[in-house]
Amino acid sequence: MEKGLISVDQWTQGSQAYFLTHLHSDHTKGLTSSWTRGPLFCSRLTAKLFPLKFPGLNLSLLRVLDIGSWHSISLMSPSSGEKTVVQVMAIDAHHCPGSIMLLFRGEFGCLLYTGDFRWETDGERAKTARNTLLKALKEDAVDIIYLDNTYCNPSYDFPSREVAAQQVADIIASHPNDDIIIGIDTLGKEELLVHISRLLNIKIWVWPERLQTMHLLGFHDIFTTKTSLTRVRAVPRYSFSIDTLERLNTMRPTIGIMPSGLPWLVKPFKGKDKLFGSLLTPYNRSQKGANGGMQTDKRNDNLGSADRFHKYIYSVPYSDHSCFMEIQEFVKLVQPVKVRGIVSSSSCYVDPLYYFGRLCGANQPSRGLHNSEESKSLSKRVIAVQTNCYARSGNSTEAGRKRGRTPKVDFLGVNVSKANTLRRIRRGAKIAQSE
pLDDT of residue 360: 85
Task: Judge whether 1 lies within some domain.
Answer: no
pLDDT of residue 304: 58
pLDDT of residue 187: 97
For residues 231 and 89, membership in a common domain is answered with no
Task: Judge whether 334 lies within some domain.
Answer: yes
For residues 272 and 335, membership in a common domain is answered with no
What is the SS3 assignment for 160? coil
Indicate which CATH number applies to the domain containing 205.
3.40.50.12650
**In this structure, is the dihedral angle defined by the CA atoms of residues 390, 393, 396 and 402, taken in order, positive or negative?**
negative
pLDDT of residue 2: 76
What values do phi and psi take at 76, rounded to 5?
Answer: -115, 125
pLDDT of residue 415: 30
DSSP 308-360: EEETTEEEE---SS--HHHHHHHHHHH--SEEEES----TT---HHHHHGGGS
Q: How many domains does the chain have?
A: 2
Instruction: Tell which residue, 161, 152, 167, has the closest CA to residue 189.
Output: 161
* Residues 168/197, Cβ–Cβ less than 8 Å: no
Q: Render each residue's pLDDT in the chain as its tens digit; 435 residues.
A: 777 899 999 998 789 999 999 999 999 999 999 999 999 999 999 999 999 999 999 999 999 999 999 999 999 888 778 899 999 999 999 999 999 999 999 988 999 999 999 999 887 888 898 999 999 998 789 999 999 999 998 988 989 999 999 999 999 999 999 999 999 999 999 999 999 999 999 999 999 999 999 999 999 999 999 999 999 999 999 888 889 999 999 999 999 999 998 765 555 444 443 333 344 555 444 443 333 333 333 333 444 577 887 899 999 999 999 999 999 999 999 999 999 999 876 555 678 888 998 888 754 443 433 333 433 333 332 223 333 222 223 333 333 344 444 333 222 222 323 233 333 434 555 554 432
pLDDT of residue 12: 80
For residues 244 and 348, membership in a common domain is answered with no
Q: How far is CA 339 from CA 69, 328, 347, 401, in A?
A: 24, 12, 21, 18
* CA separation for the pair 48, 34 (Å, rounded): 18
pLDDT of residue 127: 87
The last residue of one of the domains, among 285, 316, 347, is 316
For residues 98 and 33, membership in a common domain is answered with yes
Task: Judge whether 396 lies within some domain.
Answer: yes
The size of the chain, in residues, is: 435
For residues 118 and 229, membership in a common domain is answered with no
Round to the nearest angstrom and report the end-to-end CA distance of the chain. Answer: 12
- Which residues lie closer than 8 Å to 249 by C-beta, 6 or more apart? 312
For residues 134 and 28, membership in a common domain is answered with yes
For residues 115 and 146, membership in a common domain is answered with yes
For residues 205 and 256, membership in a common domain is answered with yes
**Domain membership of residue 165 as a residue range:** 161-316
- Which residues lie closer than 8 Å to 349 by C-beta, 6 or more apart? 341, 343, 378, 415, 416, 417, 419
Strands 70-76 and 83-92: antiparallel
For residues 346 and 225, membership in a common domain is answered with no
Indicate which CATH number applies to the domain containing 40.
3.60.15.10
Largest Cα separation within the chain, whole Å, is 75
Task: Judge whether 137 lies within some domain.
Answer: yes
